Structure formats: C-alpha cells, structure tokens
A and B are shown apart, each in its own frame.
Chain A
C-alpha cells in the first residue's frame, strides 16, 4: 500500500506542497532547537518547583476555560440568529465581527474602560460603578475579542448544511427549535472543538488584558513569565522552558478536547442551493432579537468609543501628517506578502491533507494537520521571533538586515492557525463530494482548481482577510525586529502613546480599524465574489 502511495506520479504532483511544508517544518524546528540549545535540566527543575509558576498556570487555565466557554455559549445562538434573519446593517455587523480580533490590546482596553470604567458611560448613565477589574473585566474583554471570531467560524460551519436537509425540515414543518436541534446543531457541533481550542489558546496566552483588567498580578498568565524571562532577565533558557510548558499544557487540553468531542467527519452532503423559509414564531423572534442585542451590546459600545476620535480636529491633523502615511505603507508592505505566504503554506497543507484522505493508513493525517497548525498559537510570537533570530545568527546571517523578511515570515506563521481553521472544512468537503467525479473524468490540477474556485472562494477570501488583518495588527514581532525604517501603524501608535501623545495614538487606532474595514471588504469583494456574507 505504501508503495502505491509513494508512486512517482503522486510524488511529482505533491512535490511543491511537500517542499513548502518541509521548509515550514525545518525553519520551525530549527528555530525552536536554537532556543533549546540554551537550556539544561536544572532549568526544568527550577521552573517546575516554583509555586509562582503553578499559580500562573492554574489561573491561565481557569480564565481561558471560562472565556472560551462563555464566548462559544454566546456565539452559538448569535450564529443561528444571524443565519435566519436578514436585516439592515447585517453585513456591517459581520464585518465588525471580523475586526474585533485585531484591535490592538491597549486600544480595546481603553475602549472598554471608556464604556465600563469609573468615569465611563455605564457609570455615567446608571450611577453604579461596575466592578470592572477582576474576572468580570477579563471575561468582558475576552468575549469582545473572541465571541465574534467564534461566530465567524460557526457561520462557516453553518454554510456546510446541505440543501436537502433544509428542504426536508421545511416539508416536515419544523419549528425553529427543532430545526436548530436536528439540523443546525449537528453541524455547529463539529466546528465547536476547533473553535474552542483556538479561542482557548488565544486566551491562555493573553497577557496585557489579563493583567490590566484583572486588576493586577493576582491575575497573570504564563505569558507574563515568558515575557519577563525573555525581556527583563534575558534568560532564554527559562523562556524556552516556559514556552515548552505552555505548549505541553495546550497539547494536553487539545488532546482532552478531541478525546471527548466527536471526531471531525465531513459528510458527502450536496451543495447548499437556496435556503427555505422556516416556520417563524414569536418565541423564535424574541430569542433571536435577544441574542443579537446581546452581541451588539458587547461589541458596539467599545467600538464606538474607539472610533470617537474620528470627529476630533486632531484626526484631520493626523491624516495630514507624512508619518501616518509612512506607517500605513509599512503596514501594507508587511501585511500583503505575509498574507500571501500564509495562504500558500495553508494551501500546501490542504493539498497534502486532501491527498492523504483516501490513502489507507494515512487518513489520520488531515485531522492532525489542522490541530498541528493550531498549536502555533501557543508559541508566543516573541519566542518564535527570538528563536528565528538565534537560528539566523548561528548560521552567520545578520538577522536584523533581514528584519523585513523575518517579520513577514513570522506574521505569516502566526496567521496560519486562523487561515487553516477557515479554509480546511470547505476544502475537505469539496474533496469528499467531488473527488470520485473528478477522478473519473480525469480532471486534475488547474482545470480542477478552476471548477472548484467558485465554491471555495468565499472561504479563501475570509482566510486571506484574517491573514491580512492579523499581520496589520501585529506588534510584538515588529517591535523585536523593527528598526528606524520599519514603523508600522501599531508600532507608531505605541510610540505616540509612549510619549504622552495618547489622543493622537487614538487617532492612529481609528485609522488602523478603518484600514481593517477597507481591506476586509476588499477581500470579500475581489476574492470572495459579489455574493458574499
């Protein structure tokens, strides 16, 4: 069987994909090895025997578990409501959902403070001061960042429900609840473990949000210790031990999630054609309205707070400054190549995974690939960048001369988990549905791609948009490798607020958010085609 698998035709077809994955893995493993060279066993003992580290670990786990569960609990009904209702501003809302993830942390924190803080809007209206600092603040911020992400992933899963099932439930006169229970839920459920893990890892490695809104060092995550070791103690050994610990814990959680969750199995369903009207009821309407309002309530006020500076005269001044446009240009210069790179690597994964799907003995690979891609998230980008730097130094290359390419590369890798999560289900489904048809007709390569494109372009558009936006919002990689000529928008924002110019920093944040909006709709239009949510 293996012999057939490695047949020459197959190898030639797979060669580009294999090469890309090879480069990806070699660079990744080599960078991490460069870090590991710095450590010995005593580091492990020192870290594992520290009460402090266990406390951090305990808290990181606890808050990440709560944040991701809460995000999903809200996201499920919101997704269902969004898919059943058409209303004015729905497209706008969906765009807003994609952007919350990339708002720089400090900007989001200030947005939340303006709304819920001591002198905030809620206190101003109600006269009651909310206990923002503590678990409440952490959850609020994490739900703000991640609930929209969960909704976008679940919408993707919702789109995979075949027309036949809608038709059947229409003929049977299903109520909204039965429809959800018997049609939507089985599909959403398949996407839940992946979405949960993605958000769990994001929250697990969250740093500034947890510290600031958590009200102090009582709420710190392992990431704080990694940052401290790497930047303030210059203890690369300790930092790499801590990162490994983080990877280990997340792997354990991933293992448990996949152990107890249903296995991700795509079915042979037919393409969804039209949606059928569903029996509506007052109860269903109230239900949808409630959850849409809840989503708006969580998302909109901080966004309004973030966007308010648009009306200030300072915003106009900022727009006229050369620095603003230079930073904008640097951001775009980094974001586009890294988005393309991220898509290319992700496509290599897709091609490999699809090729393995029906090979006996290899069918485990597709499931594992998706989850392996996700593990990248738990490696702090700062650690990854440092490892890459040390690798280049060991090779005798002056890494800072390559600063631009290093930043592009690390950003592309950081976006990979999101890109994979968005495109894999769609491509898998295409494979399962039409593989035999394509094979029997002898359609391969470009010809097959052209036939598939209309069906996958929406997913590709969304993946591309995520990759772009994530690179735009990056802060840590560029801060480590950046130099005079490489000041992106987020970096410029930090420079401004780092020297008292907080108002102008807020204006840059507005520009960043607007840019995200523009790029997102551009991706949806150009890549995703007109018919797009």
Chain B
C-alpha cells in the first residue's frame, strides 16, 4: 500500500513537472538548431558572439549542436536522415559541397550573394559562404632562412623538411592534393614522389601536424595563410609566416546550408540572410582565424591586412573534384608509398 502511494506521488510530481515544462515552452521563443564544428561554437570561437548578435534581431534562441569536424557535421545529418532536428549546417567546405548536395538533405537559399568576395564571386544556389582562406605552408622566420617562394620550391627543395596532413582524413590534406593537382596537372605523381623524399611525416589531422611543427619537428607545415594572424593577435608573436606561392594559392571556403526538413524553415532562412551581414562577418576573422567573405573595410583587424595575399587563385571545378577525388587520392597513395 505504501509503495503504491509512493508511486502515485512520483507520478503526480512527474505530471506536474511535464505540465510546467509545456507551459514554459509555449510562452518561450522558437529555437534554431545550427550544426557546426566544435571550435566554431567554443568560447574562444566566433559562435557565442554571433549567437548574441543574431538573437538580438530574431526573437529566438540559437542553439549550436557541435560535432568534431566539418566532415562530422555532414555524416551526422546523413546518419539522422529526415528525422534530423537541424535547421542549418554551418561549417562544410568547398570539397564537401557535392556530397552534401547528393545527400538530398538541403534546399536552395534565396540569399543575395553578389557582394561576396570569394575568388570569382559566388553563384552557388545551395550554399552561402561564411569565411575564406588559402592553404599555405607556414615557416618559422627564426629557424628557416632560405624562404621557399613557390609550391615548386617546397616540393623540390630536398633540404626542407615538410609536414602535411593526410588527404584521406583531413581538410587541409585534401586542399594540398587539389593545389598540387592544379599546379602540376598530370605530373602530380612525380611531384608527390619528390615531396615524399623529404617529408617528415603525414598526420591524421591539422592539429597533429601543426603542433609537431610548433615543437620544431619540421621546417614547414601545411596550414592556412591566416595562421600567422593567430600568433600575432593572441600571442603577440610574429615569427611565424606563410610562404608565398608564385603559382597561386588554393582557396578554402567554408559554407552554410539550410536543411530541407528544417523544423523552423523561416528562422533558418533568416539566419542564412544574417550570415552575410556585419553581425556575423565581423566575428570570423579573430574568432575563426579566417577572412570574412564580404568587404569589411576598417573593421578587419590589422594583423589580417599584413598577411600573405595570393597573386593568383587556383580553383578546380567542384564537379571535377567530386568525380576525380578517389582517383587522385589513389595517385597520391601510389606515389608516396613507392
């Protein structure tokens, strides 16, 4: 008997609890779920400020669901399928766009992208870019005297020890593969072999390689042209520089997309518009250590204006990349494992 009364008491409490929670959610504003990678939403990333800026104008709550990487974002929604609670995906990149489109999970946006400053402008109807940068090799000015002036010099200088990331498992690694392909074309296999002879190691992710470089393991490491800005702004350290490349740099553009089955399509649309405004773009430079995709003028931090700029931008068409990616990865593998 006593057990019975206890159970009913618990049930009653639970019922009242659920009642209160429903009343709260009825009066509360809507929640926009944005899937992004963890460093974007972290305290030191651009996420918190962007959230505050957006919430000021939307009368809603912006909720970040964080994944471990940009690939993680895509595989998560692919796993969830149409039952996903995601409204917006934030943090895919150029090379994931085709795969994301093929998944059939995203819809086209109606954002005016004419102001976008990515190389060659932006015309894609499914994705809105939110930041950009270029892959580059970083060196330490205190230890490296003979500065490579081009990708060719990095590939061919046998005295230069190099660390880069695996194109099978990391974004910059894939970026380098495309960079090599656009510089060397059909001779890329030869170039990979030459590079392999003075490669210190190839790492799984960006962080392994970059931290090993900071410990002094290699002369140059593959990263972004914007990397030195972090050291300048946060550590007040200017010894790290990006090596120039006369052939041109290969770009990295990070993009956002709205989901077809977004629970809050209106809010999601509003957020897509917000991406190309000052409230979002003003935070990406020192938050995500990338360039904004619209002209910010004086609002861009000083450290960024002194960074290595591309003399030319190399890009391979997305369809060509998607069609040949596996084959190019195999070419890389065969060349470097010989």
- Give A353 to B32 CA distance when docked, in angstroms: 52
Name the contact of A479 in the complex, choosing from B68, B166, B212 (C-beta under 8 A).
Answer: B68
Name the contact of B337 in the complex, choosing from A55, A207, A208 (C-beta under 8 A).
Answer: A55
CB <8 Å contact, A113 and B169: no
- Give A208 to B166 CA distance when docked, in angstroms: 11
Name the contact of B66 in the complex, choosing from A227, A484, A497 (C-beta under 8 A).
Answer: A484
Give the Cβ gap from A305 to chain B, nearest Cβ, in Å.
Answer: 10
Contacts of B45 in A (CB 8 A): 499
- Give A77 to B4 CA distance when docked, in angstroms: 63
Give the Cβ gap from B209 to chain A, nearest Cβ, in Å.
Answer: 8
CB <8 Å contact, B211 and A216: no
Q: Of residues A207, A216, A398, which shows the largest number of chain B Cβ atoms within 10 Å of its Cβ? A: A216
CB <8 Å contact, A499 and B214: no
A339 on the B face (CB < 8 A) = no
Binds A, one of B71-79, B120-128, B255-263, B313-321: B71-79
Binds A, one of B10-18, B34-42, B241-249, B296-304: B34-42
Give the Cβ gap from B265 to chain A, nearest Cβ, in Å.
Answer: 20
Name the contact of A224 in the complex, choosing from B38, B43, B169, B230 (C-beta under 8 A).
Answer: B169
0/1 string, A219-231, CB within 8 A of B gives 1? 0000010011011
Give the Cβ gap from B301 to chain A, nearest Cβ, in Å.
Answer: 15
A114 on the B face (CB < 8 A) = yes
B65 on the A face (CB < 8 A) = yes
Q: With CB as the reference atom, state the residue of chain B lying closest to A52.
A: B333
0/1 string, B100-127, CB within 8 A of A gives 1? 0000000000000000000000000000
Binds A, one of B21-29, B148-156, B182-190, B200-208: B200-208
A508 on the B face (CB < 8 A) = no
Q: In the complex where A213-B201, A498-B207 touch, is A118 in contact with B216 (Cβ < 8 A)? A: yes
A106 on the B face (CB < 8 A) = yes
CB <8 Å contact, B201 and A216: yes
0/1 string, B77-111, CB within 8 A of A gives 1? 01111010000000000000001000000000000
Give the Cβ gap from B191 to chain A, nearest Cβ, in Å.
Answer: 15
CB <8 Å contact, A110 and B211: yes
B3 on the A face (CB < 8 A) = no
Name the contact of A390 in the complex, choosing from B79, B199, B230, B289 (C-beta under 8 A).
Answer: B79
Contacts of A400 in B (CB 8 A): 80
- Give A208 to B42 CA distance when docked, in angstroms: 25
CB <8 Å contact, A231 and B169: yes
Q: In the complex where A207-B204, A216-B201, A231-B169 touch, is A495 in contact with B336 (Cβ < 8 A)? A: no
Contacts of A309 in B (CB 8 A): none
- Count chain A residues whose beta carbon lies closer than 8 angstroms to a beta carbon of B: 51
CB <8 Å contact, B336 and A217: yes
Q: In the complex where A55-B337, A483-B65 touch, is A232 in contact with B207 (Cβ < 8 A)? A: no
Give the Cβ gap from B171 to chain A, nearest Cβ, in Å.
Answer: 10
A60 on the B face (CB < 8 A) = no
A434 on the B face (CB < 8 A) = no
Give the Cβ gap from B254 to chain A, nearest Cβ, in Å.
Answer: 14
A109 on the B face (CB < 8 A) = yes
Contacts of B336 in A (CB 8 A): 216-218
CB <8 Å contact, A217 and B333: yes
- Give A224 to B201 CA distance when docked, in angstroms: 15
0/1 string, A78-111, CB within 8 A of B gives 1? 0000000000000000000000000000100110
Give the Cβ gap from B144 to chain A, nearest Cβ, in Å.
Answer: 13
0/1 string, A472-494, CB within 8 A of B gives 1? 00000001101110010001001
CB <8 Å contact, A231 and B79: no
Give the Cβ gap from A47 to chain B, nearest Cβ, in Å.
Answer: 14
Give the Cβ gap from B175 to chain A, nearest Cβ, in Å.
Answer: 14
CB <8 Å contact, A491 and B38: yes
A386 on the B face (CB < 8 A) = yes
B30 on the A face (CB < 8 A) = no
Give the Cβ gap from A397 to chain B, nearest Cβ, in Å.
Answer: 10
- Give A265 to B230 CA distance when docked, in angstroms: 61
Q: Which residues of A contact B (CB under 8 A)?
A: 52, 55, 106, 109-110, 113-114, 117-119, 133, 207-208, 211-218, 224, 227-228, 230-232, 234, 323, 386, 389-390, 393, 398, 400, 479-480, 482-484, 487, 491, 494-495, 497-502, 505
Q: What are some 7 contacts across the A-B interface (CB < 8 A)?
A: A109-B208, A212-B204, A217-B332, A234-B75, A390-B79, A479-B68, A499-B42
* Nearest 9 interchain pairs by C-beta: A119-B216, A216-B202, A499-B39, A479-B68, A497-B207, A228-B168, A500-B230, A502-B211, A495-B38
Other A-B contacts than A106-B208, A497-B211, 15 sampled, CB-CB below 8 A, are: A106-B207, A118-B216, A118-B217, A119-B217, A216-B202, A393-B81, A398-B83, A480-B72, A482-B68, A484-B41, A495-B38, A497-B207, A498-B39, A499-B44, A499-B289
